[in-house]
Structure 1
Amino acid sequence: MPPPTIHIAEIASQTALGDTTLSIPLDRYYLSPELVPMLSDPDPTSGIRTFRTRTYVELAEGGTVLLGRDAEQNFRARLSTELVASGPRLEQVQGSLLWRLIPQRDVTHGSDLNPVMLHRLSDDESAEAVAPKRARATTSQNEAATQSTSAFTKQWGIDPRFTVREYITLGNVHYKVLTRIDARQYPGAYIQSPMHPAYDFDLLEAILRHTPDEQPRSVTRVPPDNHWEIDTRLPFEKPLTTYVREDFPEVTTVTLENIARRQFELANASPFADAAGLNALQQMIDSRNNATPSPHPQWTDPLLMLPILPTSSSSRGTARAIALPAPSATGTLDRLDFDPLRFQRHWLYFLTTYSPVDFKRFMAGLLARNGYTVMEPSSFSSFPALVFQRAGHDYVFFMSLHRTRIPKISLPSYTDPNTAGILLENQLGEAAAKVVRDAHAANKIVWLKGGSEIHPGIADTVFIIRDDNARL
């Protein structure tokens, strides 16, 4: 029986572009001049410049804009917040590396792809800037079965001659495979929209928030013939930051995004996703939803993801200190910050008392509301500290408590742990002290510092950092 014939057809546009689209001022799309030096040199054929996965062009009339494709595959100026370009139509100036607005008289229902550019651009660039018009194959029984579930209705077929080096075929339809050069071995795969470049955290988060049905889909081999089959279910039901917010309802918005970003990068072992990383993120969410031990606790509990901050020594004696990172720093998870506006009643009471016991109760309540199990604080007043854990792993946290009005924590010079004043049993009580000693012996203890930071120039915050200075 001869193999089925594959027919490739262009999808014709059915909607004419009106004057409204063409009248959008181009200056809305200009890249800030100070960012232009960060771009690569222009491609010698297309003039396209890149930064990470994004593509830019310089205009003949001056200025540099982000280049993208609209739903009909026309080149357009694009805002950085858009997945599909909505700006004015653009074209390359013949014989030049510059681009220009397409004159209104030349705008038609469709557009042709530039074959030179299709071959010269990298995978990331082609996906965003020159993705081909979607191909459709002759309907077969396998394809009908693949598309039978309404949850997967996107037609992601591609013509592999012009787009990607890695693809899989299901029911005579070719799909782009999510991958990257250093992708790890993984038995499954994910297919993706041909319109999308490599997925970093920002792109995946935007897709999950605005167009969740455009997220990558898992595909697996099904015995006995090992044919590929699409899992029509959405891998992620919510944005990654929403999962974090549900677990940590009182962290600041900056901390929320930093946690989600760090989880993404740890799971993928890169700023960009691969199949193994997306599968790990799904496993983490499943274990959370099913209240089962996490397969990757160092990627799920942000206190285990915190870096160990250095302790500095003074040249004038035995005084030591830990400098606090800026609480507003985005992109790095150096500290956890909790927003007092989310627990205002507790915060206002905390501001009225300087009792160490009240301090411990305040912090114990905050930890409990954000998913930790705290051992009963002791009534000891000096050197307040707490011991706590989180479901899903067996690590134990010891956190000493501090109030600071400067961006650092000053540490006492007299810290002999066997001194009666700071003996663990006196700080924590017998039960908690035993838990700490046992966890230390099993190498399952994490040393932290936390408390309030109140000083001019920043919003009031409750912070937690990791220092790993053993108290034993």
Structure 2
Amino acid sequence: MVKPPKRVGGVTAPDLHPNTGNTSLRVPGESRASAEFSADLPGASERQASVQVNEIPAPHSRIEAALRSITWPADQVHLLQRLDPDSGLFTSPDGKLYAHVENEGHLLIEIHHDGRYQIPFNFAPHLPGPFLIKTERQPVWTFERPNWLTHPSEGDSPDGAAESASAEHPIYLATDAAALLSPRLQTPDGIRYDKHRKTYVDTAEGTVMVRKNADGEYQQTFAAAREASALLFEQIPRTRLWRRKTEPTDTVPERSHQEKRKASTDTPQPMAGPSKRVHQEEGTDVTQALTESLLSAHSDAINLSFGLWRNWGHRVRPQLGQHIEIDGQYYRVMEQDLSTKPQLVYLQHPLFSPALYDAFEYMLRDSPSLQPKWAVYKNDQWTVLDSSAPFEMPITQYISRTFKYLSDRSVNSLARAMFNQANRSEIIIAPGLAVMNLVFRYWGNRGQRRAPRRELADPLLMLRPLSATEETLAIPSSLGEGLMRLDFDPGRFSRYWNEYATAPTAANLRRLFSQVLKDDGYVMIPTTSTLTENELLFYREKIDHVFVLKLPPLIDGRLQRFQPERFEHSEIVLQTSGSEPKPLSAYSKDKKISYLLGGTQTDVLGQTTLFIFKDQ
């Protein structure tokens, strides 16, 4: 009888098959340095020569492979047909249903008997697939990962193996997931937050989840482990970047070759000081204004020797498109008038061409690394601002963070309208991107910046007036061309809404709109003799424009229109933008007054919103 071979002690080499799946599903501790680490193990070659090991894929590897099998290929997303602009649901050419899942791509889903959407885990029929959860204000979904999906099973590794493995190497957040965090420029120390208020820091190698320990130090933590790791991080002085905190030499574990390479090449760049105030008047070239702002914020910007954008260049100038030359390489830039010798251009990624809104918003949400990069002409050479991206988040996220009471549908409609109006076309080019960048920078710091182009500085200024001659108007649909209306979701200001709902009078409706608009940053003008009891007069600081909102009763589905004659002769004095005070009649003469109609509306599904649209 042949005896079975004796087990050979030692370390088993990890699975080295290429992982092409989504990095956000990686098991903690699993890294690309595993192959190099195992190759350095003493005696590894001798063991391979004496014993042949046939590895069995780990359960979590099979799970990842199964998940990839129900994920629609990223390079074929254009074949999916969107069901609704706000649903985040798509149908494939063969009629299957897919959901746009945050950080995971488009996953196959099924409708549960109770109407909920569920991911079918047919590879594990004894385990239920997770249900989808709609992301607030975004046409994307999330799902709660069960423990068996997050951790290897107990039979595969000892309890706590994930924690001990991840303690040796930092766990870096996937690039697309890191793009959804709050910008590091919002805090003096560069701390970033997710929607659950968990904390993250940026290092030269990537973004790390951290938490403050009892000693006041920041140490690495991650969702898949019950305890924080032993790795500590500290802020690099005078920057918003962080680094591994060094320990005494005898306690620091040997780093992998990959980490050594990163440490030697990815030198953190110093951050600039506070931006200088931008004094931009109406009519000033937006590209020039943005260039001055960027140069003041990045006065010490230099070309990074190992910037990923360097792979975008060509040795020979291509015949199609516009290009600039950097160090003998030609880089395509977004369309603009280069004959004027601009100081700012947008370097274009070779795999993505910004054009229409849907593709651009999808890119910012799921693949932000494909967005263009700023390049400024300084000291007779082009300098790429590699340390900052033009867009920190999707356009809808800029809007929802600034105007917190808008409904999801209005956020999406406003984002599309802003994209199209920025360039006065559905196809965006470089000047249009510069306009949007200036608007978002103004929104983020109104005290330090002036509004760029007046019609994009505020959502109410973007409303498209109705073309009608009747004395009454029907409430417009949100599906019209351009931005026809804005809706405010009572669920986001429930206290104000409940106070109104207990006594829905005309006076309380006026009070409700006043509270909502005031919280969203508008300055309300006290009641004057010019106004009726159902009208509001207000403005936004630093925008030379006045709004008059009328809240007439709804009669047969229509609203009574304005009689602007009384405002054309009003001598109410206002001071809206730091200029000299002037009467309301002057705003009317200069066409710097908007007449708005508003009220409440309940749709067929029973959802109530506060609406505002432009009369004239």
Q: TM-score range by the shorter chain?
A: 0.5 to 0.7
Alignment gaps of 5+ in structure 1: 1-13, 36-62, 66-77, 88-144, 314-319
Corresponding residue pairs, total: 342
Aligned mate of 2:359, from 180, 197, 203: 203
1:299–1:305: 8 Å Cα contact kept in structure 2?
yes
The equivalent residue for 2:611 is: 463
Q: 1:257 to 1:341 in 2, by over 3 A?
A: same
Cα shift readout 1:82-138 (whole Å, capped 9, x = no counterpart) = 999999xxxxxxxxxxxxxxxxxxxxxxxxxxxxxxxxxxxxxxxxxxxxxxxxxxx
The equivalent residue for 1:323 is: 474
* Structure 1 residue 311 corresponds to structure 2 residue 491: no
The equivalent residue for 1:376 is: 526
Q: 1:446 to 1:27 in 2, by over 3 A?
A: closer
Aligned mate of 2:396, from 238, 241, 257: 241
Higher relative contact order (CA 8 A, sep 6+): 1
CA shift, 1:249, in A, is 0.6
1:177–1:191: 8 Å Cα contact kept in structure 2?
yes
Q: How far apart, in 2, do the equivalents of 1:256 and 1:361 lie?
A: 24
CA shift, 1:242, in A, is 1.9
CA shift, 1:295, in A, is 2.0
1:184–1:274: 8 Å Cα contact kept in structure 2?
no
Q: Please give the TM-score of this superposition, normalised by the length of structure 2.
A: 0.47
Alignment gaps of 5+ in structure 2: 1-16, 22-61, 83-92, 108-301, 575-581
The equivalent residue for 1:227 is: 381
Aligned residue identity for 1:229: T
Q: 1:243 to 1:155 in 2, by over 3 A?
A: same
Cα shift readout 1:299-349 (whole Å, capped 9, x = no counterpart) = 121211111113353xxxxxx32122224x387310011011111221122
* Structure 1 residue 408 corresponds to structure 2 residue 563: no
Aligned mate of 2:332, from 176, 179, 201: 176
Q: How far apart, in 2, do the equivalents of 1:33 and 1:201 lie?
A: 16
2:72–2:105: 8 Å Cα contact kept in structure 1?
no
* Structure 1 residue 270 corresponds to structure 2 residue 420: no
2:539–2:545: 8 Å Cα contact kept in structure 1?
yes
Aligned residue identity for 1:264: F
1:222–1:229: 8 Å Cα contact kept in structure 2?
yes
1:453–1:461: 8 Å Cα contact kept in structure 2?
yes
Aligned mate of 2:510, from 360, 364, 379: 360
Q: How far apart, in 2, do the equivalents of 1:405 and 1:457 lie?
A: 21
Q: How far apart, in 1, do the equivalents of 2:572 and 2:439 lie?
A: 34
Q: Secondary structure at the match of 2:312?
A: coil
User: Runs of at least 4 residues of structure 1 off by over 6 A?
Assistant: 16-19, 25-35, 78-87, 182-186, 415-418, 422-425, 429-432
Aligned mate of 1:218, from 374, 378, 387: 374
CA shift, 1:34, in A, is 9.8
Which deviates more from structure 2 when the two are superposed, residues 249-258 or residues 348-357?
A: 348-357
Q: How far apart, in 2, do the equivalents of 1:162 and 1:22 lie?
A: 40
Q: How far apart, in 2, do the equivalents of 1:32 and 1:424 lie?
A: 57
Q: How far apart, in 2, do the equivalents of 1:249 and 1:30 lie?
A: 30
Q: How far apart, in 2, do the equivalents of 1:358 and 1:168 lie?
A: 59
Map of 1:45-84 to 2, 5 A cutoff?
Answer: none
Map of 1:124-203 to 2, 5 A cutoff?
Answer: 146-148=303-305, 155-158=311-314, 164-179=320-335, 187=342, 188-203=344-359
Q: How far apart, in 2, do the equivalents of 1:388 and 1:209 lie?
A: 35
CA shift, 1:395, in A, is 0.5
Aligned mate of 2:584, from 432, 436, 452: 436
Q: How far apart, in 2, do the equivalents of 1:82 and 1:193 lie?
A: 23
Cα shift readout 1:345-388 (whole Å, capped 9, x = no counterpart) = 21122123243332221111111111111112369996510100
Q: How far apart, in 2, do the equivalents of 1:246 and 1:466 lie?
A: 24
Cα shift readout 1:267-311 (whole Å, capped 9, x = no counterpart) = 222222211111222222223325222121211212111111133
1:452–1:460: 8 Å Cα contact kept in structure 2?
yes
Q: 1:205 to 1:214 in 2, by over 3 A?
A: same
The equivalent residue for 2:288 is: none
CA shift, 1:170, in A, is 1.3
1:387–1:436: 8 Å Cα contact kept in structure 2?
no
Q: How far apart, in 1, do the equivalents of 2:600 and 2:477 lie?
A: 14
Aligned residue identity for 2:521: G
Q: Please give the TM-score of this superposition, normalised by the length of structure 1.
A: 0.60
The equivalent residue for 1:9 is: none
Cα shift readout 1:249-274 (whole Å, capped 9, x = no counterpart) = 10111111221222222222222221
Q: How far apart, in 1, do the equivalents of 2:80 and 2:439 lie?
A: 41
Q: 1:366 to 1:185 in 2, by over 3 A?
A: farther
Aligned residue identity for 2:513: M
The equivalent residue for 1:41 is: none
Q: How far apart, in 2, do the equivalents of 1:31 and 1:194 lie?
A: 18
Aligned residue identity for 2:600: S
The equivalent residue for 2:593 is: 445
1:451–1:462: 8 Å Cα contact kept in structure 2?
yes
CA shift, 1:205, in A, is 2.1
Q: How far apart, in 2, do the equivalents of 1:352 and 1:82 lie?
A: 39
Q: Secondary structure at the match of 1:155?
A: helix
Q: Secondary structure at the match of 1:463?
A: strand
Q: 1:159 to 1:409 in 2, by over 3 A?
A: farther
The equivalent residue for 1:110 is: none
Aligned mate of 1:282, from 437, 441, 446: 437
1:178–1:192: 8 Å Cα contact kept in structure 2?
yes
Root mean square deviation, CA, Å: 4.5
Once the two structures are aligned, what percentage of the paired residues are identical?
25
Q: How far apart, in 2, do the equivalents of 1:159 and 1:81 lie?
A: 39
1:407–1:453: 8 Å Cα contact kept in structure 2?
no
Q: Secondary structure at the match of 1:279?
A: helix
The equivalent residue for 1:393 is: 543
Q: 1:393 to 1:453 in 2, by over 3 A?
A: same
Q: How far apart, in 2, do the equivalents of 1:381 and 1:355 lie?
A: 18
Q: How far apart, in 1, do the equivalents of 2:315 and 2:384 lie?
A: 19
CA shift, 1:436, in A, is 3.0
Q: Secondary structure at the match of 1:204?
A: helix
Aligned residue identity for 2:353: P
Which deviates more from structure 2 when the two are superposed, residues 364-373 or residues 240-249?
A: 240-249
2:475–2:559: 8 Å Cα contact kept in structure 1?
yes
Q: How far apart, in 1, do the equivalents of 2:312 and 2:94 lie?
A: 31
